[in-house]
Amino acid sequence: ENLTALIQAIPKAELHLHIEGTFEPELIFALAERNNIPLKYAGVEALRKAYEFKNLQEFLDIYYQGADVLLHEQDFYDLTMAYLNRCRQENIVHTELFFDPQTHTHRGVALKTVVSGIQKALDDAREQWGITSFLIPNFLRHLSEEDAISTFKECLPFRDYFAGFGLDSSELGHPPTKFERVFRMVREEGFRVVVHAGEEGPAQNIWDSLNLLHAERIDHGVRSIDDPELLKELAKRQTPLTVCPLSNLKLKVVDDLKDHPLKKLLNAGIMATVNSDDPAYFGGYLNQNFRETAEALKLSKEEILKLAKNSFKASFLSEHEKERWI
Ligand code: HPA
Ligand code: ZN
């Protein structure tokens, strides 16, 4: 109970959050009705029951279906505002949100519709509640690099809205080496680089994300635990890992939260953070990730405070802005 109050009370940043992954079944049904889109589930409960995943791909298949009911700017606004309300409740004072442009543009939804809806919600939350935020488009790695490059070019007219670019979706079969050219373009245009790596894929994907894509942060990165040399390098460089414990549990990256490597990563001197990834699908927002992990790994008060501090250190806030929270 003590730790629950502490976790709630400390200001936190969230650095690994897919806005399409905050789409709660109730809102999916409400927007499907508003947009006259039939769903193949009988109702909210039937949809929620389908959230049983053996691996990342089974999750992705259902997550892309959910996103299909997002059509209008107001839909993206409502989705984002629901998450930001959650931030306010959980004392998340800064958030760096991912979205998947291709999931929407490939269905004929204009990028401007997506970006405007999300951005208006971010502006309102900043004004009303002082929550700061950055938006980070992610390329879908199961699609071609050519598709990522044309998506990047489509993003450039909105460049002021974006802090950086990332890479997500199916890791197995789609290694970082497939995306060297597009991330060179991303860096040449002055954007930050984050990459999902070492979630289901091997530690080598983390090496390649660092050395070939020049990732400044690794999303997940838990497979680094298999490679002592890599652990040393991550600790030396202080490259942040945005770890998502309940996601790892739900997608069977770990069999039990007690086996989660988070504490070992901290003990190895790595800049690890805690995040919720796709909370509507994985059964817990940020504070629940903190609570369940703290309990399973018997994290100390000091370790919890360190994780919260790391969330700001690892953020893309300026050094001056970080000082406010650290
Ligand atoms: N991994 C890969 N792709 C994703 C994820 C993730 O955790 N969440 C949403 N798309
Ligand atoms: Zn993710």
Instruction: Kindly report, residue by residue over 284-308, the tens digit of the pLDDT.
Output: 999 999 999 999 999 999 999 999 9
Q: Is 255 annotated in some ligand binding site? A: no
Q: Is 200 in the pocket of ligand 1 (CB under 6 A)?
A: no
Evaluate whether 206 touches 197 at the Cβ level (below 8 Å): yes
Q: Which are the contacts of 300, defined by CB distance < 8 A and separation ≥ 6?
A: none
Mean pLDDT score, 96-119: 98
Q: Is 124 annotated in some ligand binding site? A: no
Q: Which atom of ligand 1 is nearest to the CA of 98?
A: 9
**pLDDT value at position 1?**
64
The number of the ligand nearest the C-alpha atom of 248 reads: 1
Evaluate whether 303 touches 270 at the Cβ level (below 8 Å): no
The number of the ligand nearest the C-alpha atom of 218 reads: 2
Q: What pTM did the predictor assign? A: 0.98
Task: Write down the catalytic residue from 199, 200, 216, 303.
Answer: 199
Q: Which domains does the chain have, with CATH numbers?
A: 2-315 (3.20.20.140)
Candidate from 23, 100, 278 with most ligand 1 atoms within 8 A of CB, to mutate: 278
CA–centroid distance, residue 129 to ligand 2 (Å): 26
Alpha helices by DSSP H, listed for 69-217, are 73-90, 101-105, 111-129, 145-155, 180-188, 203-211
- Three-class DSSP category at 63: helix
Evaluate whether 245 touches 292 at the Cβ level (below 8 Å): yes
Q: Is 277 annotated in some ligand binding site? A: yes
- Dihedral (Cα; 99, 103, 106, 107), 10-degree rounding: -110
Q: Which atom of ligand 1 is nearest to the CA of 138?
A: 10
Tokens coding 15: 């650095």
What percent of the chain stands above pLDDT 70?
Answer: 100
Evaluate whether 306 touches 266 at the Cβ level (below 8 Å): yes
Q: Is 72 annotated in some ligand binding site? A: no
pLDDT single digits (tens) 188-226:
999 999 999 999 999 999 999 999 999 999 999 999 999
Q: Is 90 in the pocket of ligand 1 (CB under 6 A)?
A: no
Buried b (16+ CB within 10 A) or exposed e, 116-136: bbbbbbbeebeeeeebbbbbb
Q: Whose CA is nearest to atom 7 of ligand 1?
A: 277
Q: Is 168 in the pocket of ligand 1 (CB under 6 A)?
A: yes
The number of the ligand nearest the C-alpha atom of 140 reads: 1
199 included as an active-site residue: yes
User: What ipTM describes this predicted complex?
Assistant: 0.97
Mean pLDDT score, 130-155: 98
